[in-house]
Amino acid sequence: MSTPTEQRSVTVLGLGPMGRALAGAFLDAGVRTTVWNRTPGRERELVARGALGAASAEEAVAASPLTVVCVVNYDASDTILRREAVTTALKGRTVVNLTADTPARARSTAAWAAEHGVRYLDGAIMTPTPTIGTPAAVFLHSGPAELYREHRPVLDTLGGTHTHLGEDLGRAAAYDIALLDIFWTAMSGYAHALAVARAEGISARELAPFAQGIGAILPPIFEGAAEEVDNGVFSGANNPLTSAASSMAHIVHASEEHGIDAGVLRAAEGLARRAIEEGHGGDGFLRITDILDRRRKHR
Ligand code: NDP
């Protein structure tokens, strides 16, 4: 589909590793790209590749109908966007904020944008920098569907999969938080496992193929459990909570015998024991979802 020339231009604010990857992908796709970063110097390589380096954030946003922001958090993006000169330059233009933060921060920045005549979409990037510009990239978006459709041709040049999750501006951030919850909890579990394994004389290299096997068990569980969790039915036929809690206790004891902190797993075991005390010992492990989310439990 051909795109009007004006739409094929974009501004990127924030040139950390992710901002630089985004700007690089736009450049590779032939999109006219203007860049700015709080600390000067980060734009050098991009300018050598054809980007336009702006002297200020207001000059940068004035250069394109679409500005993509990608900085460390919403304190940083608010600091940039809410400066009067920048807000004035943004009036009638579109911001896609790909900065990660909480759903509440996304909604409050969206409310600020609406008050100031700034067209606003919020988004989240679910894959690391090397994926940007490749089919492996994953982007989530939320906000007005029409605005998303208007800017999709430029956003699509970032490659990968783009999913519009709805008009609630906090929704992309909400998915981001939930998905990163899985990631960081799994990574802390992996780090703990490596420490316990090492204490038992097993190297990370030796454990790696088996660790991958454990990782591969998870995707079918995510798929199979979805309906059970949404319907509040937690089948424990194959692995009841009583058995899961016992398995977790072995890990806690083994690690504490080596003087290794088992705090994360102790917390998970504690939730399982609470569910058992409340009479759910025959249910599956995901019953603790309702122990954590009391609103759901009492609905
Ligand atoms: P960082 O999260 O470290 O962000 C660095 C950027 O934030 C730099 O441009 C930095 O500017 C800017 N910044 C920090 N504080 C301020 C401030 N007070 N005012 C203005 N600018 C500020 O690096 P990334 O580029 O990797 O990440 C950007 C976003 O992308 C984050 O929200 C991150 O969670 C998300 N993300 C990153 C991924 C990755 O693999 N890196 C993967 C998925 C999402 P300066 O150079 O001046 O310090």
Which ligand 1 atom is at minimum distance from the Cα of 128? 40
Span from the CA of 170 to the centroid of ligand 1 (angstroms)? 19
Give 261-283 pLDDT, tens digit per residue.
Answer: 999 999 999 999 999 999 999 99
Atom of ligand 1 nearest to the CA of 73: 32
Ligand 1, pocket residues at CB < 6 Å: 14-19, 37-39, 42, 70-72, 76, 79-80, 99-100, 125, 128-129
Measure 129 CA to ligand 1 centroid, in angstroms: 12
Q: Which residues have C-beta within 8 Å of that of residue 7, sequence separation ≥ 6?
A: 65, 66, 150, 151, 153, 154
Confidence (pLDDT) at 16: 98
For the chain, the average pLDDT equals 95
| Res. 7: pLDDT tops 80 | no
pLDDT of residue 196: 98
pLDDT at 235: 87
The yes-or-no verdict on residue 5 having pLDDT over 50 is no
Task: Tell the residue nearest (CA) to atom 48 of ligand 1.
Answer: 39
CA dihedral 273, 275, 280, 281 (to 10 degrees): -10
- Give the neighbor-by-neighbor strand order of the sheet with 32-36: 52-53, 32-36, 9-13, 66-69, 94-97, 119-125, 138-142, 161-164
pLDDT over 90 at 146, yes or no = yes
Entry pTM: 0.93
Q: What is the pLDDT of residues 209-224, one digit of tens each?
A: 999 999 999 999 999 8
Tell me which amino acid residue 62 is. A
> Is-contact 196 258, C-beta < 8 A?
yes
